[in-house]
Structure 1
């Protein structure tokens, strides 16, 4: 256990944990042990470019597969050109939503920052989504145009047909020809003669929405999470104090960060991409996880910082082709998205053969996403560290009463990084927000006397597949579209490879005889691979409580 306050020499840098006199207040609120920070009144793009002159000639992003790369000066120029084109040619207005359906490519930062520069709002989508999933988010977000790669265009066109939307598709045509009827990204950003004065018409403020990722929140179908410019700028600044995991960029030094976490997800988007660009770090991107490309990237690029989900940590610690030499410059590893077993962390450290920092962090899309982090040198691998600066925590019981140290209850969070709310969903907002914008996480946790946070269990019903969230309600909705299905329930079951996998319980309509294979194929055509149901069992009735809520625990205990 960490005894605060302490000073610890770690990796040629003094790390100081500054403990408040009273982490726990008399109201049983838990303050961050780190000093508060001032949040600049800037938009995300303004904040990221506010210090770009310090590192404009350094590499901002490089593809770990193709070596295609851009300097900070190049990306800044491209974002301004793209923003002007979106404003002038595509008539994007302040607050219009633009969809981004891309893998981790070097042009991702240019795309999202260009959209923000135009006054637009970015909604990110998983590039492996089906047309069914894409059309739903296009419709819900009211997207005005789409950025993608050539390979995904047919799926997007099918999605646009389904939702009866006729919007432009801008294609990354850096290495492949663009499909007919789409717009060239290369031509847009290469148009240096475009009138940039149109950007003066953009009027966006820090309290305006900047990103609209879709999350299942505490339960149910995906909801649009309204993240303001202030939310994301705050989460960047919160990482620049005692929680800092990077070395400052100077004329003679620049850290490199591994960009393998998907940028469409808040963890990869905010912590890995936006924040690291704001401090001049080099981002090494990988479009998808493949063992051979990851190993190759580690050989070509010396990585200083890595943000990983548990399956990636397990891979690095166990894959025979990854050696200590591949990780010889690595200093800091933060694990998020799901808890990582202590045994996996220890196996990884044995592979590294050095005493480097490995710590767990906690957050949600709704918290922009970082809420707690294990600071440098902290070795309690079962905890997720401490509340980051400007963040307060509470533990509440079922009656919303505040609990004390080491008592288990629902974790509730307040801070400048908490989302504005779910787009157009007052009922969902009512469920997750308490008085004074306290956010209910839906996770069970306990907090020690010193402020150490440990996640105990999940109140949520989300299924975790390789750290991806799979909402049972979404799969149940898809199942019920099958003409033979009368009722359905989906629960998580253990899986040795992915952690969990979805299992469906199905009640067929009278005189119908669909097989489990029929059901599995029906769902697989409509959802991304990680959401696919792996097992089906047939029942006469789905157990429910008097209010109609599915008793998933009963299903798990009786049939799994």
Structure 2
């Protein structure tokens, strides 16, 4: 997943919580735009140290609770049980500093516990979408080489199958909330029981060590491991605490923000902004395994939700952060027209590679097509195809520099060198412009990822699957507008000689090999595909000519 907020996220907050913030970004003589906010001190601590820094202020407040079953942990319990898990991971399963542990499950209080336990053990966390097929999981396993997998009863079979495909024999820990423990798995609940914490004295992880390893699919279709250090994530949390950027009210003896976590924790948006940052400020995280209207609405009511992070189809209530895909202005206007209170609509921008937050609109802004200004310690610039830095209102590729920019791509020097230059500028792959005040407008994306319901679908991945079909000689995939999903993939196929066109058969072939959101909307048969002289597929031509 290349984009944390998938190029943009939006937030609605009630007017009585907004403040008038008048800021002016600084254009330097070399056309670099600096943040209008005062720089924050960059903390030299790990994610775990940051999350628990203020534990003494709210030990008995609920940290996380299941919106369906009310299964919950207080902050003190979460601290205790996560340390138990960390100790058991090291003493019983042999985890050492820098090992990778992979999670594959839907949102739950135990997911929160697992993440904190993994990080406390000194291991790196990598996450997998729980609706992935074994083939998709297998690819990530080969790249990340985890020492342990943590799943649930509804994902453990896929985990086992993917491990078999990868020829890996590693422990599988299973979270069970009802029913028995699946064969050949280790009980998550037993590992969170009482344990000797002395072994945690051996953890020597520092702020500069990698903590989170999300996998980001590029236009090549090959996932890249994004190395986010403890410092990357922690500084992004601190940047998010500054007035004007801040999206929450402080936890006190009489107030605690309550928020639904229905956006998946395997996604950097859910993991960093919703889970880790909100734990660090003492909020209550109400988990839902998936979005279902009835349970979603009942959870809103039963848990008195005050802060809501959503994707575009879910935009309701009075405090909302909406991410994972752009929400059209027409939908924004409809939402605001239906609101019974005066609200502000705030758009954010970020990416997986930036931990994720980069820019935010100032409360009170009415220009809903912009994504605001750079957050503290962050610089922006726009460059043309010849890498010349452009001035105000000129469109080019957005480059970002700041302490939240990733360390690099795991074991991929070439991709890292292409993404981050020698001066620390990260190339976003997005077309954008900056106005005189440093306000950013995202115009388009240079990358060709297809956005389906907020999920990113790499065209080359589907092309690779299609070429495994015995009838397919060549294939090209592009995204087309879809009223229900935003975009949908459509395949252009060149058949092998003597083979017949079979739209249904090819769609079914792909459907058995990929997650539901990656399935093809349609198949079109062509005699040949447009390519440049070096043989590179010209998806732009496909889109313009046929889609």
1:408 aligns with 2:409: no
- CA shift in 2, pair 1:399/1:182, >3 Å: same
Distance 1:306 1:379 in 2: 20
Q: Which residue of 1 aligns with 2:213?
A: 212
User: TM-score, length-normalised on structure 2?
Assistant: 0.95
Cα shift readout 1:361-418 (whole Å, capped 9, x = no counterpart): 1111111111111232222211111111111000000001111111111111011111
How far, CA to CA, are the matches of 1:59 and 1:87 in structure 2?
Answer: 28
**Superposed displacement of residue 334, structure 1:** 2.4
1:276 to 257, 278, 294: 278
Q: Deviations over 1:86-126 (max 9, x none)?
A: 00000011100000001111111110110011010000010
Write the deviation string for residues 194-229 of structure 1: whole angstroms up to 9, x where unpaired. 211000001101111101111124653211111110
Q: SS of the residue aligned with 1:151?
A: coil
Deviation at 1:142, TM superposition (A): 0.3
Quote how far apart the aligned CAs of 1:552 are. Answer: 1.1
Q: Secondary structure at the match of 1:412?
A: strand
Partner residue in 1 for 2:422: 435
> 9, 19, 22: which is aligned to 2:23?
19
Partner in structure 2 of residue 145 of structure 1: 148
Among candidates 98, 115, 118, match of residue 115 of structure 1: 118
- Equivalent residue for 2:180, pick from 177, 181, 184: 177
Aligned with 1:58 (options 58, 61, 69): 61
Indicate if the aligned counterparts of 1:339 and 1:360 stay in contact, CA closer than 8 A: no
Change (3 A) 1:71 1:297: same
Distance in 2 (CA, whole Å) between partners of 1:182 and 1:535 is 40
Q: Distance in 1 between matches of 2:226 and 2:156?
A: 26
Which residue number corresponds to residue 4 of structure 1? Answer: none
Out of 258, 267, 286, which is 2:269 matched to?
A: 267
For 1:392-471, what aligned pairs fall within 5 Å after superposition? Answer: 392-471=379-458
Alignment of 1:316-355 (within 5 A): 316=316, 327=317, 330=318, 332-355=319-342
Match of 1:309 in 2: 311
Q: What residue in structure 2 maps to residue 224 of structure 1?
A: 225
**Residue 187 in structure 1 maps to residue 187 in structure 2:** no
Stretches of 4+ aligned residues off by more than 4 angstroms: 9-14
Deviations 1:511-548 (A, max 9, x none): 22351222111111111100111211111111111122
Q: What is aligned with 2:469?
A: 482
Is the Cα contact below 8 Å between 1:216 and 1:223 reproduced in 2? yes
2:84 is aligned to 81
SS at match of 1:15: coil
The worse-fitting range, judged by mean Cα deviation, of 129-138 and 218-227 is 218-227
Say which SS state the counterpart of residue 147 (structure 2) adopts.
Answer: strand
2:294 equivalent among 292, 295, 302: 292
8 Å contact kept, 1:10–1:376: no
Alignment partner of 1:238 is 2:234: no
For residues 164-212 of structure 1, give each alpha carbon's deviation from its aligned partner in whole angstroms, at most 9, with x where no partner exists.
111111111123322111111111112x1x2110000011011111011
Distance 1:218 1:441 in 2: 13
CA contact 1:337–1:363 (8 Å) conserved in 2: no
Structure 2 unpaired stretches of 5+: 1-12
Higher relative contact order (CA 8 A, sep 6+): 2
Mapped to 1, the partners of 2:229 and 2:69 lie a distance apart of 34
CA distance in 1, matches of 2:186, 2:337: 49
Q: 1:494-513 residue pairs with structure 2 within 5 A?
A: 494-513=481-500
Residue in structure 2 matched with residue 323 of structure 1 by the alignment: none
Separation in 2, partners of 1:13, 1:551? 48
Instruction: Summarize deviations over 1:311-337 as a string: whole Å, max 9, x none.
Output: 222xx4xxxxxxxxxx3xx3x322222
Once the two structures are superposed, residues 343-374 of structure 1 have per-residue CA deviations (whole angstroms, 9 ceiling, x without a partner) of 21222233331123321111111111111112
Report the Cα offset of residue 16 of structure 1. 5.1
Q: Which residue in the other structure is 2:510 paired with?
A: 523
Secondary structure of 1:227's counterpart equals strand
CA distance in 2, matches of 1:468, 1:116: 26
RMSD across aligned C-alpha pairs, in angstroms? 1.5
Question: In the alignment, is the contact (CA less than 8 A) between 2:135 and 2:513 conserved in 1?
Answer: yes
**Is the 8 Å Cα contact of residues 218 and 458 (structure 2) preserved in structure 1?**
no
Contact 1:209 1:226 in 2 (8 A): yes
User: Hey, what does 2:104 align to over in structure 1?
Assistant: 101
